[in-house]
Amino acid sequence: MRTEDRMSTTNSVFTKIIIWFSVLGVVLLSASSLWTYYTLNQLIQVTQERREIALGKGLALAIGDSIVTRNYAQLEVDLRYVMGNETIHSVIATDLDGDVLATLERKPDSNETVANFSIRKITPPERVTDQYQMQKQGGRSILWYEVNPGVPLGWVRIESYTDLDDVLLENLQLNIMLSIAILFVGLFGVSIVLFYRAKKMTQNTERQLLKHNETLYDVAHIDALTQVPNRLALNSLMQDAMLSSSERGHLLAVCFLDLDCFKEVNDLHGHECGDKLLIAAARRMKKVIRDSDTVVRLAGDEFILLLGGIQQEDDLDASIGRILNAVASNFMIDGANIAISASVGVSVFPTDGLLAND
């Protein structure tokens, strides 16, 4: 019983550890996934901005000659080439004062690129140290890039959609998140296996220690000769028996039994024969008492009998009579027919006392 209680405690501890580790793993996985998602979104935005800036720079270089020579046909061709990128909503080329030189925009319903001649002037940004300025408006990004092949000539205004997903970056984001999830699941599985093995090893070690402890307990509290409880175990056994009798309202008989003529048996047949007689006598007493009763060896030929569950004192006489008759029957020890008897003194709890030492 003690081993089962301790093992159930160990199982409960390991179960709690696994549950808390599972919760921690889920929290870490969620936090890592959110952080990865946030980081990759930032990466996507930075990549889109750099791509737009590179596109604006290339376009500004391409249309410089067209603005100088006022070749508006070529200017529109260059702008239309840029509109091949479906993420771009519109592109406008202006001079330094904001007068529109050419405008192309994409129809939202048909995705067709058309020229818009209704826009004649827009307000360009103030010149700054950098050659470009980036603005965000809703789901669109507006890039102003200065056309400056050595001398400021004008501006390129590129308006792009920012809510369109880039397939490559989206796949990269998905792959990284899947890799992190697989890594965490793998580590979690390995950790569970290690915890399980550690649990088994701990349980085996604890089981061996408990068995050793129980063996040591038995050695200390069980009489080595007769295999019945000894004097060290008497106090706890008596306390338990008194508690049980009090709870049930029964009487407890504490009987002191002494084997008569035991010394003569030792002197006549030897101590080995006397030891065998003690073993046989203890066995007989255990056979005639109930499972709830206890036989305790004090020392030598002295025994204590704890007889519980007695309704009234008259029932005690029959129980003691069976024990005395069992001991008084002849013993056959090493071919010798040995006859002994026993003397009994009885104290009844709680009639004769309320304490174990009364």
- Give yes or no: residues 161 and 266 share one domain: no
E strand residue ranges, 107-208: 113-115, 132-137, 140-147, 154-161
Considering the domain boundaries, does residue 62 fall inside one? yes
* Dist. CA 289–CA 327, nearest whole Å: 12
51 and 144 assigned to the same domain: yes
Q: Pseudo-torsion of CA 345, 346, 352, 357, nearest 10°?
A: 70
| Structural domain count, the chain | 2
Same domain, 156 and 236: no
Domain containing 276 — which CATH number?
3.30.70.270
Starting from the edge strand earliest in sequence, which strands make up the sheet with 341-349, in order?
294-299, 302-310, 251-260, 341-349
Would you tell me the crossing angle of helices 313-328 and 271-288 to the nearest 10 degrees?
A: 140
Here the CATH number for the domain that contains residue 90 is 3.30.450.20
Q: pLDDT tens digits, residue range 327-353?
A: 998 999 888 899 899 999 998 888 876
For residue 163, which amino acid is it?
A: D
Q: Which of 167, 195, 213 is the last residue of a domain?
A: 167
Q: Is residue 205 part of a domain?
A: no
Max CA separation in the chain (angstroms): 143
Mind listing the pLDDT tens digit of every residue in the chain (358 residues)?
444 555 556 566 666 776 777 677 767 777 776 777 677 777 777 777 888 888 888 888 888 888 888 898 898 888 888 888 888 889 999 998 899 999 999 987 878 889 888 889 998 888 766 788 888 877 788 899 999 888 889 999 999 887 654 555 567 667 777 777 787 777 777 777 777 787 788 778 778 877 777 767 767 788 989 999 999 889 989 999 999 888 888 889 999 999 998 989 888 889 999 999 999 999 999 999 888 899 999 988 999 999 988 887 777 888 899 999 999 989 998 888 998 999 999 988 888 765 555 4
Last residue of a domain, one of 167, 193, 223: 167
| Residue at 237 is within a domain | yes
Q: Are 52 and 89 in contact (CB under 8 A)?
A: no
**145 in the same domain as 35:** yes
Distance CA(56)–CA(157), nearest Å, equals 8
Does residue 354 fall inside a structural domain?
A: no
Give domain status of residue 110, yes or no: yes
**Residue 151 and residue 263 share a domain:** no
Instruction: Report yes or no on 35 lying in a domain.
Output: yes
Return the ∠ at Cα 86 (arms to 85 and 91), rounded to 5°.
Answer: 70
Do 239 and 142 lie in a common domain? no
Report residue 12: phi and psi, to 5°. -65, -40
DSSP for 64-99 reads: HHHHHHT-HHHHHHHHHHHTTSTTEEEEEEEETT-B
- 131 and 272 within one domain: no
Within-domain flag for 277: yes
Identify whether 203 is part of a domain: no
**Same domain assignment for residues 254 and 156:** no
Residues 252 and 149 occupy one common structural domain? no
138 and 11 together in one domain: yes
Q: Which of 146, 167, 188 is the last residue of a domain?
A: 167
**Residue 316, both tokens:** 């005690």
- Contact between 258 and 302 under an 8 Å Cβ cutoff? The reply is yes
Domain range for 18? 2-167
Give the C-alpha separation, 104 to 159, whole Å: 11
Cα 350 from Cα 248, distance rounded (Å): 12
Does one domain contain both 259 and 339? yes
- For the beta carbon of residue 192, count every other beta carbon within 10 angstroms: 14
Residues 7 and 138 in one domain: yes
